[in-house]
Chain A
Amino acid sequence: GAGVSQSPRYKVAKRGQDVALRCDPISGHVSLFWYQQALGQGPEFLTYFQNEAQLDKSGLPSDRFFAERPEGSVSTLKIQRTQQEDSAVYLCASSLDRERPQHFGDGTRLSIL
């Protein structure tokens, strides 16, 4: 596809469960980003990968959040022992490199019951 693809589009989980969110970046994009967007707010940065290297994880809210990009392409954001405050839209973005515009997927809407 031409754009960033995220799956699933919607995820409902019970509090305490683990979830995994997937991102397929635009082909050839070196840089990959995860953001969290609360209702009515702008996206907030979580973490950044350059190829397979996670160069910035300063935005991850707790050690329950973990991201990986083992082969420098697809990335997974994992949230362990989910809490209600984790409910949000999780957006993935990719760019050719860190100096170029970031292009976003349509996100995964996560609801924790």
Chain B
Amino acid sequence: GESVGLHLPTLSVQEGDNSIINCAYSNSASDYFIWYKQESGKGPQFIIDIRSNMDKRQGQRVTVLLNKTVKHLSLQIAATQPGDSAVYFCAEMWRQAGTALIFGKGTTLSVSS
């Protein structure tokens, strides 16, 4: 599968590969994190969330890993499909300070069949 250690704006994978999208968040006090998928012309679509008291959470074909030591979040997509092609954003929130989600730089995932 494709693995990226640092944030890159684009990621190209073959259908069936595993994808890893990375995100560095900005605020060490952030305690809630969400991954969104955004297709062209549409709004961000919720994928999975994780709270800061966890370091891993799994969903259907997706896993989110949280490393608070280095303020790093990753999204793993298993058996990537062409329908997974989109821009992926991580978002953080410090719930004590408010409700605004702070979005990271997006990663464009392109899946070729």
Contacts and interface: CB of A to CB of B under 8 A. Distances in A.
A72 interface: no
Nearest to B44: A104
Given A98-B95, A99-B95, A42 B103 contact: yes
Nearest to A55: B99
Nearest to B90: A42
A9 to B, nearest CB: 9
Interface in B13-28: none
A35 B103 CA distance: 11
B58 to A, nearest CB: 16
User: Which label, helix, strand, loop or mixed, suits the secondary structure of the B interface?
Assistant: loop
Interface in B61-113: 89, 91, 95, 98-106
Contacts of A65: none
Contacts, number: 56
Given A42-B105, A104-B44, A31 B34 contact: no
B5 interface: no
B101 A104 contact: no
Interface in A14-56: 31, 33, 35, 41-45, 48, 55-56
B99 A33 contact: yes
Interface centre among B36, B42, B44, B46 (most CB of A within 10 A): B44
Contacts of B98: 48, 56, 58
B99 A43 contact: no
Interface in A63-113: 91, 93, 98-99, 101-107
Interface string B30-58: 00101010000111111001000000000
A44 B44 CA distance: 12
B89 A105 contact: no
Contacts of A103: 46
B43 A106 contact: yes
Interface of A: 4, 31, 33, 35, 41-45, 48, 55-56, 58-59, 91, 93, 98-99, 101-107
